[in-house]
Amino acid sequence: MSMLKVKDLKVNYGGIEALKGISFDVEQGQIVTLIGANGAGKSTTLRAISGLVKTASGAINFMGRDIIPFNAQQVVAEGIAMVPEGRRVFDNLTVLENLKIGAYLRTDREEIEAGIEDIFQRFPRLKEREWQLAGTLSGGEQQMLAVGRAMMARPKLLMMDEPSLGLAPLVVKDIFSIIRDLKSEGITILLIEQNANAALRCADQAYVLETGRITMHGTGAELLADQRVRDAYLGSTAR
Amino acid sequence: MWNTVFPYLLSGISVGGQYALIAIGYTMVYGILRLINFAHGDVFMVAGIVMVYMAASGLPLGICIPLVLVITALIGFVIERVAYKPLRTAPRMSAMISAIGVSYTLQNLVLYITGGLNQIYPTIPWISSSVTIFGATTKMVTLVTPVLTLILVVALVWLINHTKIGMAMRAVSRDFETSQLMGIKINRVISTTFVIGTFLAGVASLLYFTNYTTVIQTSGAMPGLKAFVAAVVGGIGSIPGAVVGAFIIGIAENIIKGLDIILFRLGVIKGPMGLATFSDAFTFALLIIILAVKPTGLFGEKITDKV
């Protein structure tokens, strides 16, 4: 059964139709990616799901519930966490506090402590910097922190907005191996990427978004092999 | 020499404490909403008026005082909900104009109720009594104010740095949207900020009006403005900054009030020169200098908006 079903979703941004009716499904336990150029509506899609922008029409169904009327806080409570574009860690909070704030809605103190230990085992670099302000971390460390913070909400679905943006190639590799690890632990992931090559390689299902419409859909491997996708999104990286 | 300066220093520290309690409200609200809450000084004044009417109604002071603090905090809550929350996504200028509107509304409401007459502030026993310390005679409130201020500031800083709501306040002050993605109800956090700020202004009003004994609809303007300058001098958004700025202004202002006598005793001047007149001017000159030389204030941080 699909965990997340988006149907005919339309979003208007100040008079402009950012999403012109898109539909896609996210199956439990899979990595689903939306790829597309700047301004195609990828971020808008995630923002609509997470309740940050109002939708014009359409349906968003998460685990059998209509989450369109939910605000951002209620969506988190439903079990959808987001790693926002540009990481957006709280630079005035310590690394530890950033993780704690990820668990803001949880009240199970001991489990939260255990969760923090888990994150520190996964990312030992964060453990070393536990008491540092998050603003002092490198870009890659901040991205790890942003992932850790989202994991602290114990999400059923993890949405990631351009996790590789602005990171060094080696670090990008790390990030994608983290994404694969998360999947192997049973976490469902909806991934948005401009780095189409890396995203398609790890995705079970992939959708191509062009100016507010979904123009192609297939498995990651299918789209990776598709000539149109290669020409438009993979460029020299696929050669 | 010491005997001449000490009484001025003492009242300076006391007034500084009162400014500090008001300034915290400005700086906290700015920190979280980037809004200069121009109505804050008037809430402070309204707290004084509420106390006057409450005491006149015959309620014992032991009930009046906590009730005044609760009502003041409630006023802060209502103002935010009515005048600022609907403008959350509007340009910042709109909220600022709304704040000015609230300020005049409160002043005129009080003018209407009191008829524009000075209201005698009730005498709170013990803190109104006189004490003599190191040869200077003053009201107890002068000694109580800095101590109480320090206790409240320490408590507040602890709240902000070591509690869940404090962590949420710091997060919201940096990034509304990401805070929402964490499941933080930002409106609740903003309301809490207003409640804390106006509560402290309520405490300040008890101390201030005990010292000045009368309240009128414009009573909040000057202390409010000076507390605002204190917040800017300290670096708006910073709580320690607001406190330090407030003590600087309170002390400097009172020393200037006594400057004629101090300089005369020192033999620097031969007769009165009316230097006391400049005590208010000093505060605003300081504002101009800080804005020109170090716009981020003493403790303010440079806000770099990453693109």
Mean pLDDT of B288-306: 80
User: Of A52, A73, A84, which is closest to B183 when you measure between CB atoms?
Assistant: A73
Q: Cα separation of A58 and A43, whole Å?
A: 17
Q: Tell me how close the Cα of A168 comes to any Cα of chain B, in angstroms.
A: 18
**Tens-place pLDDT, residues B139-168:** 999 999 999 999 999 999 999 999 999 999
CATH code for position A48 = 3.40.50.300
pLDDT value of position A6: 97
Task: State whether A104 and B184 contact (CB < 8 Å).
Answer: yes
Q: Is residue A167 assigned to a domain?
A: yes
Contact of A93 with A134, CB cutoff 8 Å: yes
Q: Is residue A34 assigned to a domain?
A: yes
Q: Tell me how close the Cα of A89 comes to any Cα of chain B, in angstroms.
A: 8
Q: Which residues of B touch A (CB under 8 A)?
A: 164, 167-168, 170-171, 173-175, 177-178, 180-185, 306
The domain of B220 spans: 2-293
pLDDT value of position A238: 44
Choice among B19-23, B154-158, B234-238 with the minimum mean pLDDT = B234-238
Task: State whether A88 and B175 contact (CB < 8 Å).
Answer: yes
**Tens-place pLDDT, residues B24-53:** 999 999 999 999 999 999 999 999 999 999
Q: Is residue A110 assigned to a domain?
A: no
Q: Is residue A66 assigned to a domain?
A: yes
Q: Is residue B192 assigned to a domain?
A: yes
Query: Coil, helix or strand for B178?
Result: helix
| Mean pLDDT over the full length of chain B | 94
**Top-confidence range, B200-204, B275-279, B293-297:** B200-204
Q: Describe the strand order of the beta sheet including A80-83 as a list of residue ranges.
A: A80-83, A157-161, A188-193, A31-36, A205-210, A213-219
Task: Please report which residue ranges of B91-238 form alpha helices under DSSP H.
Answer: 92-114, 140-162, 164-174, 176-181, 186-212, 221-234
Q: Is residue A206 assigned to a domain?
A: yes
Task: State whether A101 and B174 contact (CB < 8 Å).
Answer: no
Mean pLDDT of B74-80: 98
**Tens-place pLDDT, residues B278-296:** 999 999 999 999 999 999 9
CATH code for position B142 = 1.10.3470
Number of structural domains in chain B:
1
Q: What helix, strand, coil percent values describe chain A, rounded to 5?
A: 40, 30, 30
Question: In A, which residues are within 8 Å of B167 by CB distance?
Answer: 93, 97, 100-101
The domain of A89 spans: 2-93+154-238
pLDDT value of position B2: 80
- Pairing of the two strands A2-13 and A16-27: antiparallel
Q: Is residue A98 assigned to a domain?
A: no
Contact of A73 with B184, CB cutoff 8 Å: yes
Would you say residue B307 has pLDDT above 60?
no
Strand partners for A217: A207
User: Of B170, B180, B185, which is closest to A93 when you measure between CB atoms?
Assistant: B170
Number of structural domains in chain A:
1
Choice among A204-208, B16-20, B129-133, B221-225 with the minimum mean pLDDT = B129-133
Mean pLDDT of B243-261: 95
Q: Which of B307, B32, B175 has its CA nearest to residue A89?
A: B175
Q: Is residue A10 assigned to a domain?
A: yes
Contact of A217 with A24, CB cutoff 8 Å: yes
Strand partners for B132: B137
Tell me which residues of chain A have a pLDDT lower than 50. 237-239
Q: Is residue B300 assigned to a domain?
A: no
Task: State whether A92 and B170 contact (CB < 8 Å).
Answer: yes
The pTM assigned to this predicted structure is: 0.92
Provide ipTM, 2 decimals.
0.92
pLDDT value of position A239: 44
Q: Is residue A228 assigned to a domain?
A: yes
Q: Cα separation of B13 and A23, whole Å?
A: 66
pLDDT value of position A15: 83
Q: Which residues of A touch B (CB under 8 A)?
A: 50-52, 71-73, 76-77, 81-82, 84, 86, 88, 90-93, 97, 100-102, 104-105, 149, 153
